[in-house]
Amino acid sequence: MVEKKEYKEWPPYAPGTHVRESDIREKKITYSWWEPEVQYSWSVGHAMSKFLQGLKDGKLYGIHCKTCKRVIVPPRMFCEYCFGPTEEWVELKDTGEIETFSISYLDADARRIEEPILVGVVSIDGAYPKPMGFMHYFGEMTKDEIKIGMKVKAVWKPENEREGSITDIKYFKPLKGGSE
């Protein structure tokens, strides 16, 4: 018969310590490391295909729902208000208005950074009702200059570097002198 040990503290004494980055780097501990191959291919659908293809050509496309009188961007094949089909493609300007913004001291990998990045939602000119647009970076402005309602314009990558991705627009810069 095994005699049970009496522990005064709860949870019972448990040896162990956190693994530090230096323990791995300096090979103080043994470990297994495995990088699984997890590839995916996501079909973006008809409407987003046209939108992303448009970005490659330096154009922004929205789509019109005549029933609800909306110009939807990013475009959808159906209007989420009336569930009716969207009908007509509309080419939009690459200008807009800052709807919301955030000053982030963390980068995309959650590392702390000295110079904050500015991100937020842009309402694209020609799309309605407001707010209607998408999220993006803001550039050529400081964290003190950025404000809601500021007019902005897209800064595109050079044509040969575009690949049909939302990052074909590098960021939105302030549009000096109001609307174009």
Partner 1 sequence: MGFLEKQTDPTSPMHWRGDMQADYFYPSGIAGDKFFKHLMEKDTFLATKCKPCNKILFPPRLYCEDCFEEITEDDWMEVPASGKVKLFTKATINAHGVKMEEPKVIALIDIDNTDGAMLGIIKTNELDKDFSGVKVKAVLRPKGNREGTLKDILYWQVI
Q: Which residues bind partner 1 (CB under 8 A)?
A: 2-3, 5, 15-16, 19, 24, 27, 29-46, 48-50, 52-53, 63, 77-78, 85-89, 164
**Pick 7 or 144: Cβ nearer partner 1:** 7
Residues 6+ apart with CB under 8 A from 141: 118, 150, 173, 174
> Is the CA virtual torsion 64, 67, 69, 74 positive or negative?
negative
**Pick 35 or 115: Cβ nearer partner 1:** 35
- Supply the minimum distance, in Å, between the C-beta of residue 8 and partner 1: 15
**Pick 27 or 147: Cβ nearer partner 1:** 27
**Pick 1 or 114: Cβ nearer partner 1:** 1
**Pick 10 or 40: Cβ nearer partner 1:** 40
Instruction: Tell me how crowded residue 152 is: count the other CB atoms within 10 A of its CB.
Output: 26
Residue 59 CA from chain centroid, whole number? 19
- Supply the minimum distance, in Å, between the C-beta of residue 17 and partner 1: 8
Spatial distance between the Cα atoms of 102 and 9, rounded to a whole number of angstroms:
46
- Supply the minimum distance, in Å, between the C-beta of residue 125 and partner 1: 22
- Supply the minimum distance, in Å, between the C-beta of residue 173 and partner 1: 26
Residues 6+ apart with CB under 8 A from 22: 28
- Supply the minimum distance, in Å, between the C-beta of residue 14 and partner 1: 9
Q: Which of 74, 95, 77 is nearest to 86 (CA)?
A: 77
DSSP letter at 78?
B
